[in-house]
């Protein structure tokens, strides 16, 4: 809980960050990178997405500072650059779980 409310500009920035995370494909990529740095090809294979698509999503994640890029030979190695993402996902996930449990309880009772 914040004392001062955020300005609209701040809210726009926060919304932008949420927008980056509001895509299953990108969450998949970030999760795949939890195991360590990966090439585009490996991520393509691991996720089942097309190479062009993976590359585009990685560009966006890179532009927003969520991943880092290392070029070596033919390959581009991507890695995580912002672990806070997983705190966010964890928070959302547990919240969704408790909400689902509450709904379940409501049904059983009502």
Partner DNA sequence: CAACTATATTCACATCCAGTTGAATAGCCC
Partner DNA sequence: GGGCTATTCAACTGGATGTGAATATAGTTG
Contacts to a second copy by CB under 8 A: 1-2, 5-6, 8, 10-19, 21-24, 27-28, 31, 34, 65, 82, 84, 86-93, 95-96, 99
Nearest CA among 58, 60, 82, 84 for reference residue 71: 58
Nearest CA among 66, 55, 60 for reference residue 30: 66
In this structure, the strands spanning 75-80 and 38-39 are antiparallel
Q: Which residue has the tokens 């062009």?
A: 52
What's the min distance (Å) between Cβ of 104 and DNA? 25
Give the binding range for DNA (CB under 7 A) out of 3-11, 19-27, 87-95, 96-104.
19-27
**Positions that interact with DNA (CB under 7 A):** 19, 23, 25-26, 39-41, 44, 49-53, 55-60, 69, 71-76
């Amino acid at each position: 809980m914040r004392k001062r409310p955020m300005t609209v500009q701040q809210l726009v920035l926060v919304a932008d960050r949420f927008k980056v995370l509001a895509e299953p494909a990108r969450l998949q990529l970030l999760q795949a990178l939890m195991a360590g740095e990966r090439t585009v090809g490996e991520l393509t294979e691991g996720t089942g997405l097309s190479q062009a698509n993976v590359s585009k999503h990685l560009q966006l994640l890179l532009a927003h500072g969520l991943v880092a890029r290392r070029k070596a030979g033919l390959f581009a190695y991507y890695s995580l650059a912002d672990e806070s993402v997983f705190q966010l996902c964890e928070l959302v996930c547990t919240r969704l779980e408790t909400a689902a449990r509450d709904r379940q309880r409501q049904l059983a009772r009502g």
